[in-house]
Amino acid sequence: MQKNDKILVIGSSGQLGTELVQNLRIVYGTENVIASDVKMSEQAKEGPFEIIDVLNAQGLFEIVKRYNITQIYLLAALLSATAEKMPKFAWDLNMNGLFNVLDLAKEKIIEKIYWPSSIAVFGPNTPKHNTSQFTIMEPSTAYGISKQSGERWCEYYFNKYNVDVRSLRYPGLIGWKSAPGGGTTDYAVHIFHEALKNGTYECFLSENATLPMMYMPDAIKGTIGIMQADPDKVKIRSSYNLAGFSFSPKEIAEEIKKHIPKFTISYKEDSRQQIADSWPKSISCAEAAADWGWKPEFDLSGMTSDMIENLRKCN
């Protein structure tokens, strides 16, 4: 850690932001991590918090100057399912929000950016198994189109303006501390809450809809890991594939049954199934492993035990 790191997390009240802020504050100190979201949040009780609309470039600039921000984690975005309902707004938020932050680094007002990409950059023509870093990418969702374009712009700003931007293509993220919102992989969090509360869950994806997933502690480790890596080790400036493990709704239900034997699952597919069908089933993260040492710790069974143990403690 550099002495003067001042971090702004935009979109801090979301599923990833909630946990990322807590972890960044352990590493960098509470006062050095400014949480921000488009509306007031309970997070304001835990440390510095600002209301920021990332589309308001001037408002963003003023906060960045006021706190002498050096790094921005830009998490504000519409996820896959919500973006299908408002594709143009998704494009506006996901792209222009990114430009506003990239331009702060281009102008040398900030030093470093983290921006999440997603497995949604891949599409129906991408090979589905052990999907490589470099392969066919023809996303068919509004979210995927915005993330793929964002990746191209990140690389462009790095090459052209020497902007230190770093990015990971997250799979579905699973955690017990915060709720997901608007994604296709959200079922993998809801299933735990329903299993513990009602002993049953109706899944909006089909039983064999296998997708790449990751437990939140690994996602946090990867995120802080790539941000702290030496710049010359971050060789890919679009976004790195990142993988934990893959499972289908049927397989996670079986795993949950080991802890809650009476748990039952039923299936009622909705439009999110189509999104899931367009994404890879498993991901290769060979480049992340080779370049900056990525290695996940959790598998399906470890994640399931930990989720259930922690959610039981919360109830």
Residue 287: CB atoms within 10 Å: 17
Round to whole Å and give the CA distance between 166 and 294.
Answer: 14
Question: Shortest approach of ligand SER to residue 213 CB, angstroms?
Answer: 9
Q: For residue 255, what are its two tokens? A: 């795993």
Identified binder of ligand SER from the candidate list 79, 191, 300, 303, rule CB under 6 A: 79
Identified binder of ligand SER from the candidate list 18, 80, 100, 304, rule CB under 6 A: 80
**Residue 4: is it exposed, middle or buried by C-beta count within 10 angstroms (0-12/13-18/19+)?**
exposed
Q: Does 17 bind ligand SER (CB under 6 A)?
A: no
73, 143, 215, 240: the active-site residue = 143
State the number of binding residues for ligand SER (CB under 6 A).
Answer: 11
Which of these ranges, 89-97, 181-189, 244-252, 285-293, lies near ligand SER under the rule CB under 6 A? 181-189
Is residue 105 a contact partner of residue 299, using CB atoms and an 8 Å limit? no
Known catalytic residue: 143? yes
Which residues make Cβ contacts (< 8 Å) with residue 191, sequence separation at least 6?
201, 203, 249, 252, 253, 256, 265
Q: Of residues 276-315, which lie at the interface with ligand SER (CB under 6 A)? A: none
Q: Does 74 bind ligand SER (CB under 6 A)?
A: no
Q: Does 170 bind ligand SER (CB under 6 A)?
A: yes
- Whichever of 113 and 119 has its CB closer to ligand SER, that residue is 119
Question: Shortest approach of ligand SER to residue 37 CB, angstroms?
Answer: 18
Which residues make Cβ contacts (< 8 Å) with residue 263, sequence separation at least 6?
195, 199, 200, 201, 253, 256, 257
Q: Does 183 bind ligand SER (CB under 6 A)?
A: yes
- Whichever of 32 and 148 has its CB closer to ligand SER, that residue is 148
Q: Does 14 bind ligand SER (CB under 6 A)?
A: no
Going along the chain, which residue ranges are E strands?
7-10, 33-37, 49-51, 71-74, 112-114, 117-118, 164-166, 168-170, 172-174, 200-203, 211-215, 240-241, 245-247, 264-267
Contact pattern from residue 106 through residue 135 relative to ligand SER, giving x for each residue in contact according to CB under 6 A and a dash for the rest: ------------xxx---------------
Round to whole Å and give the CA distance between 1 and 228.
Answer: 7
The residues annotated as belonging to the active site are 143
Q: Which residues bind ligand SER (CB under 6 A)?
A: 79-80, 118-120, 143, 170, 172, 183-185
